Amino acid sequence: MAKAPIAGASKTRLAAEIGVAQATRFARQATAALLARLGRDPRWLTILAVSPDRYVKSPIWPAWTVTCGQGRGDLGARMQRQFRAHAKGPLVIVGSDIPSLTPAHIASAFRLLGGADAVFGPALDGGYWLIGLRRRPRLLRPFAHVRWSGPHALKDTLANLPGCVVGFLPRLGDVDSAEAYDLSAHRFARRLLPRP
């Protein structure tokens, strides 16, 4: 899931700290790098869920990218819509601002969903950078009453999954603040684009 990297509309919390131009540049580079690392892996189909929906057909995205809209609502409503909308079977959702995310993380998430109902990649801030659902025998609804963009998002989501088998991936950092941006800057430049 990604917001279109448009000045003033994406990475707004980060922009308040480091400036709109730098935050927009980060959003563009981070999304391009994510698509380069994950987008053409033959083990899965990558679909870029875009917000706002009017940017689904934008030339911002590489021509080979499969895109769809996120629709309206809070983050939980938009993620639930993705879990309902796509072909049956395991599905994982990630954000576009996790510089350390690799194909190995996605492969691990799908492996865990072989025996778990849900899988999470916990974020350093108390949220999560990945959620995956097996979607069989039924589609879970884990997003009720979740306090988004804060330290309670993972805990609140897990509270909606009583009796479910849940798997976890390593804790990774996303980039929502100047501190996270600065901490990741030296690593980010190396991980931004795939190795030749």
CATH level 2 (architecture), domain 2-191: Alpha-Beta Complex (3.90)
Q: Please tell me the distance from the alpha carbon of residue 43 to that of residue 90, in angstroms, as a whole number.
A: 12
Residue 192 has a pLDDT of 46
Residue 189 has a pLDDT of 44
State how far Cα 18 lies from the chain centre.
22
Residue 54 has a pLDDT of 95
* Domain coordinates in residue numbering, the chain: 2-191
Residue 181 has a pLDDT of 55
If one counts every other C-beta atom within 10 angstroms of the C-beta of residue 69, the result is 18
Determine the Cα angle at 61 with ends 169 and 143, to 5°: 40
User: pTM for the whole thing?
Assistant: 0.88
Ranges of the chain with pLDDT below 50: 183, 186-196
